[in-house]
Amino acid sequence: MLQITEIPVPGYESVRRGIDKDRGLHAIIAVHSTILGPALGGMRLWPYRSEEEALYDVLRLSKGMTYKAACAGLNLGGGKSVVIADPAHKCKELFQAVGEFVDSFGGKYTTAEDVNTNTEDMEIVSSRTRYVAGLKGRSGNPSPYTAHGCFVGLKATLEEVFGSSDLQGKTVAIEGGAGSVAGYYAELIVQAGGKVILADIKDKEVRARAHKLGGSVVPPSEVFKQACDVYAPCALGGTLNAETIPQLRCKAVTGAANNQLREPADGERLRARGILYAPDYVVNAGGLINVSGEVGQSYDEKRSLAMMDKIYVNLKEIYAIAKKDGIPTSAAADRFAERRLDAARAAVKAKASA
Ligand code: NAD
């Protein structure tokens, strides 16, 4: 039987633990904020070593979703789910149970695919709740759209650094080069005349991709040290930190991974080195923008792609705030998002007291 318990966390609207021993479920869903609308965020399945580790991840990720939606101009809140499991043990019963867990939020949280979950898994989830997006025949796989958004962000970043968004003669070092988003991103870069350096722990896959794209391969431990124009973290978070930042040999960072900075101080470390950082939740919003197109409306790819152009405009504004106020771009992005969140909070307050 599914047992749901509330975990009180200050600053979060609702954090719940869902356990169903018979169906192998141990999950946490966090709704950070619904001030802009119902929360939308993916379901990550990962063999976390402890519930504490899973909680840390879901809290950080769900807050990131609030800021991502706010920056992208979407009327959506921030939420996320994490399932503590080995991807090798995925099964129908597990996703049915997690579907019931999602349903317990009554529409306050809508889920979608994320790391180690896919559209087939979401089909099973949808047998137990209607609050699931990213289904087949609708917006589908978010990765090509996330890559498209990153590419739009890359152009804004190149223009800021080099005065032109032209990819000719530019080199991008991509971490997680065998991955899903990285594959589409690398293709767009190469099609536009750029060069790619790829690194991944999946050696065979990354070599095949580099061969296809005319790129080169370096070991995962070397990718951030490459002499290049742009370093693109597209694997896991936390790769920009006190140890890696002093060794970077790029002019800018523009990648898809969530939570690229290990700690807020890393934003200042990048600024001090004169490296322009495209804040992760601004630049990787393409997948969210795309999937939001099927929430409460019928999906239209053209409309979603047009909305992704806003990533360019938003980044330019964030770079301008950073320059004017002499702050890191990561802090400028937070300010940009908080402006919209504060306005929404004020509107709710005014309505309540009217
Ligand atoms: P993916 O699992 O397809 O790709 C990740 C790749 O990183 C894999 O090939 C993996 O082998 C590689 N990798 C893992 N550890 C590594 C390491 N230490 N060094 C080098 N490579 C390593 O995932 P994805 O869907 O492409 O997502 C990539 C990143 O982008 C994740 O951080 C994800 O949270 C973020 N993101 C993805 C989307 C999306 O639409 N898929 C949207 C927003 C953010």
Per residue in 186-224, pLDDT tens?
Answer: 999 999 999 999 999 999 999 999 999 999 999 999 999
User: How many Å apart are CA 241 and CA 199, to the nearest integer?
Assistant: 18
Q: Which residues contact 207 (CB under 8 A, 6 or more apart)?
A: 217
Q: Active site includes 63?
A: no
Four-way CATH pick for 143-338: 3.40.50.150, 3.30.70.141, 3.30.160.250, 3.40.50.720: 3.40.50.720
pLDDT of amino acid 140: 78
| Residue nearest ligand 1's atom 15 by CA | 235
Average pLDDT over residues 140-151: 92
Best residue among 113, 174, 180, 291 to mutate for probing ligand 1, ranked by most atoms within 8 Å of CB: 180
Is the pLDDT at 323 greater than 90, yes or no?
yes
Q: How confident is the model at residue 106 (pLDDT cuts 50, 70, 90)?
A: very high
Best residue among 234, 241, 288, 308 to mutate for probing ligand 1, ranked by most atoms within 8 Å of CB: 234
pLDDT of amino acid 82: 98
- Pick the residue with more confidence: 309 or 141? 309
Find the 237 Cα to ligand 1 centroid distance in Å. 9
- Which atom number of ligand 1 is nearest to the Cα of residue 147? 40
Is the pLDDT at 245 greater than 80, yes or no?
yes
Q: How confident is the model at residue 115 (pLDDT cuts 50, 70, 90)?
A: confident
Is the pLDDT at 134 greater than 90, yes or no?
no
Q: Which residues contact 351 (CB under 8 A, 6 or more apart)?
A: none
Four-way CATH pick for 3-56+77-125: 3.20.20.80, 3.30.2130.10, 3.40.50.10860, 3.40.1350.10: 3.40.50.10860
pLDDT of amino acid 144: 94
Residues having CB within 6 Å of any atom of ligand 1: 115, 142-143, 146, 175-176, 178-182, 199-202, 220, 234-236, 256-258, 284, 287
Q: How confident is the model at residue 344 (pLDDT cuts 50, 70, 90)?
A: very high
- Which atom number of ligand 1 is nearest to the Cα of residue 287? 40
Average pLDDT over residues 95-121: 95
Is the pLDDT at 296 greater than 80, yes or no?
no
pLDDT of amino acid 295: 79
Find the 260 Cα to ligand 1 centroid distance in Å. 12
Q: How confident is the model at residue 142 (pLDDT cuts 50, 70, 90)?
A: confident
Domain boundaries, the chain: 3-56+77-125, 143-338
Name the percent of the chain lying above pLDDT 90.
Answer: 89
Q: How confident is the model at residue 286 (pLDDT cuts 50, 70, 90)?
A: very high
Identical fold between 3-56+77-125 and 143-338: yes
